[in-house]
Amino acid sequence: MVDSFHALAKRRGLYFPANESYGGVAGLYAYGPTGTALKRNVEAAWRDRFVSREGNAEMDAPTIVPEAVFEASGHLDGFDDAIVACPECSARHRADHLVEDATDIEEAEGLDLVTIEDLIASRDVACPACGQRLAGQPVDSFDLMFETAIGPSGDQSGYLRPETAQSTLVEFPRLAEYARNSLPFGVAQVGRGYRNEISPRNAIVRSREFTMAELQQFFDPDGDDPPLDRVADVTVQLLPADRADDPNPDTVAYTVRQAVDDGVVRPAWLAYYLGVTRQWLDRVGVDVDRLRFREHDDAELAHYATACWDAEACVDGEWIELAGLAYRADYDLARHAEHSDADYDLFREYDRPRERERTVLDVGRGALGPRFGNRLPAVVDALEARADRDPAAFEEDTVTVDVESETVDVDTDHLEVRTEAVTDHGERVRPHVVEPAFGVDRVVYAALHHSHAEDVVDGEARTRLALPAAVAPTDVAVLPLRADVADRARRLVDRLRRADFEVAFDDSGSIGRRYRRQDEVGTPYCVTLDKQTPADDAATVRDRDSTAQARVALADLPEALARLRDGEATVAELRRS
């Protein structure tokens, strides 16, 4: 079923294995004309919803990232999969996937290597390539990042980014400047990610090079609330981590508001983007009746995440991750602050300066120096801390402090505690991050599957891609049926293209055959120029889904098609008008 879908995708110009003339390479797929147009439309729809409508920014960073960044982010150590090699045929496999296939465990990715080794032995797992038993074979970590050398000397290591996130997060100091140091703000990237998958599978679903659309939403954990009202009533199907033990867990329906109020999804920014995600997937053709949000348990959580919900679509009975919505808290900014010289805090200026009183301790160093010698700085630190905490103690004759596990008494004659007024102009904040991260290819795949329909029209079976007009590869097909309307058809194509329509032109084959070609690639509207056209200067507009038809004057077509595309009219309504 899956393979026949991939074969269909190849025939229709959706996607196909790249470099097949040379035998191809597993996990590298190319998009054909139809697939590229669809993918571009999905990307544009994502930008519209997650960037423009939210007032967020977009950036575009290199996909080659120097080693230091992934050292700081933890990817050099932690971004790997469990691998096992067959002693017979040398094929290498993802060990956790073998365990998932052989057991009831749905997610084995979080298991440690020894546990996976044990399961392979106890369940007698065999090599999927040759059938050899794998019990006793070592399970290792395999680094998923592609490495390359930068520069002519070859001594600078770089990695192809496995996600866009780090290439955004590492630029936080500058991005904060562009946001004029004002939280909350979001920065998105749409671009390539690379993972040297051990066992690529299912075409564009698990490939080695893919397109991601990620948003890093920066916010003050003690202050900023999301604009929850916009999605408060959106219902999301949730599968919380504590239900995953259930062999057949049911999802629970929550409105976004309830999920926040009941504390099921935290923080509120994460719940907000669950709602936005559900709305957006609906808009690009994913059937939201086959959509759930599954929470990661502690074992599955990535090293950087405090919480994570995967948006999963059911395709052919299998749940496929379309997006991961993670709460990264301040993990990344803290790591980059620690590993680099840059400042990953943000200075938030107060609306007006704030006055406060501060306790100050004046120390007679001349008197104390001889007694404490090079321990003096430590003693002064301890005294200052005490003064801050307990100024009244300095009203006694002596004050006692602990310095380096030793109790020290100091004569208060040499100490003066006083208060002074201080003006604060702002405070330092380390933002937290919520991240909706989409696999664009997987969204395309789910939308294709969910839009695939078969029905019977005029007694003939047809295949139809019922994609929403917003993402359909082609807006309109122009179909001249006779030679004497060819010029009119060409002029119409030019006019429609100037009016920003994506236009297909097809002048070969019977009308039924041409309709079928367009139905198969999801073209919402066909315009047929026929033998009447020279007389009435009009053409027939046909709707892909209902097959309803209406006669429209050629001169009115750009406007009529714009109204159809924007949902302001249906073909049936055009006929009546």
Q: How many CB atoms lie within 10 A of CB 114?
A: 9
Within 195-214, which residues bind a second copy (CB under 8 A)? Answer: 196, 198, 208-209
210, 146 Cβ separation under 8 angstroms: no
* Minimum distance of a second copy from residue 156's CB (angstroms): 7
Kindly tell me which of 173 and 426 has the beta carbon lying closer to a second copy: 173
The footprint of a second copy on residues 38-77 (CB under 8 A) is: 39-40, 47-48, 52-53, 55, 57-66, 68-69, 72
Question: One-letter amino acid identity for 470?
Answer: A
354 makes contact with a second copy (CB under 8 A): no
- Judged by CB under 8 A, the chain residues 150 through 189 that form the site for a second copy are 150-153, 156, 158, 160, 167, 170-171, 173-175, 178, 180, 187
- Both tokens of 98, joined, read 């073998």
Q: Classify the C-alpha dihedral 483-485-487-489 as positive or negative.
A: negative
Q: How far is the CB of 392 from a second copy (least distance, A)?
A: 45
Q: How far is the CB of 256 from a second copy (least distance, A)?
A: 19
Give 42 or 550: the residue with its C-beta nearer to a second copy.
Answer: 42
Give the integer Cα–Cα distance in Å for 303 and 331.
Answer: 9
Binding residue count for a second copy, defined by CB under 8 A: 84
For 214, phi and psi rounded to 5 degrees?
A: -125, 145
Residue that is written with structure tokens 């749409």 in the block: 190
Nearest Cα neighbor of 272 from 186, 154, 169, 144 is 186
Contact flag: residue 194 with a second copy (CB under 8 A): yes
Q: Which is nearer to a second copy, 59 or 244 (CB)?
A: 59
Q: Which is nearer to a second copy, 146 or 372 (CB)?
A: 146
Question: How large is the C-alpha radius of gyration of the chain?
Answer: 31
Whose Cβ is closer to a second copy: residue 70's or residue 327's?
70
Beta carbon of residue 60, minimum distance to a second copy (angstroms, whole number): 4
Q: Is 32 in the site for a second copy (CB under 8 A)?
A: yes
- Quickly tell me which residue has 């009115």 as its tokens: 556
Report if residue 29 touches a second copy, rule: CB under 8 A: yes
β-bridge pairing 476-480 and 460-465: unpaired
Q: Name which of 52 and 419 has its Cβ closer to a second copy.
A: 52
Applying the rule CB under 8 A, the residues between 423 and 452 that interact with a second copy are none
**Nearest-approach distance from CB 308 to a second copy, in angstroms:** 26
The residue range among 13-21, 293-301, 419-427, 532-540 that interacts with a second copy, by the rule CB under 8 A, is 13-21
**Nearer Cβ to a second copy (284/380):** 284
Q: Hey, how many other C-beta atoms are within 10 angstroms of the C-beta on 546?
A: 11
The footprint of a second copy on residues 89-128 (CB under 8 A) is 90, 92
DSSP single-letter state for residue 430: -
**Is the distance from CB of 298 to CB of 271 less than 8 angstroms?**
no
User: For residues 7 and 149, which CB has a smaller minimum distance to a second copy in the complex?
Assistant: 149
Binding of a second copy by 340 (CB under 8 A): yes
Q: How far is the CB of 351 from a second copy (least distance, A)?
A: 11
Q: Of 176 and 239, which has the nearer Cβ to a second copy?
A: 176
* Least distance between a second copy and beta carbon 182 (Å): 9
Beta strands 185-194 and 57-58 are parallel
Is 474 strand, coil or helix? coil
Compute the least distance from the CB of residue 90 to a second copy, in Å: 8
Single-letter code of the amino acid located at 221: P
> According to CB under 8 A, which residues from 487 to 506 bind a second copy?
493, 497-498, 500, 502-503, 505
Residue 383 near a second copy by CB under 8 A? no
Compare residues 147 and 559 and give the one whose CB is closer to a second copy: 147
Q: Which of 262, 182, 267, 169 lies closest to 221, judged by CA? A: 267
Q: Distance of CA 123 to CAs 103, 135, 286, Å?
A: 8, 9, 37
Distance CA 86, CA 131 (A): 9
Strand partners, 314: 319
Answer whether 325's CB lies under 8 Å from 270's CB: yes
- Report d(CA 526, CA 519) in Å as an integer: 9
User: Could you tell me the smallest distance in angstroms from the CB atom of residue 14 to a second copy?
Assistant: 10
Burial class (CB in 10 A: 0-12, 13-18, 19+), 223: exposed
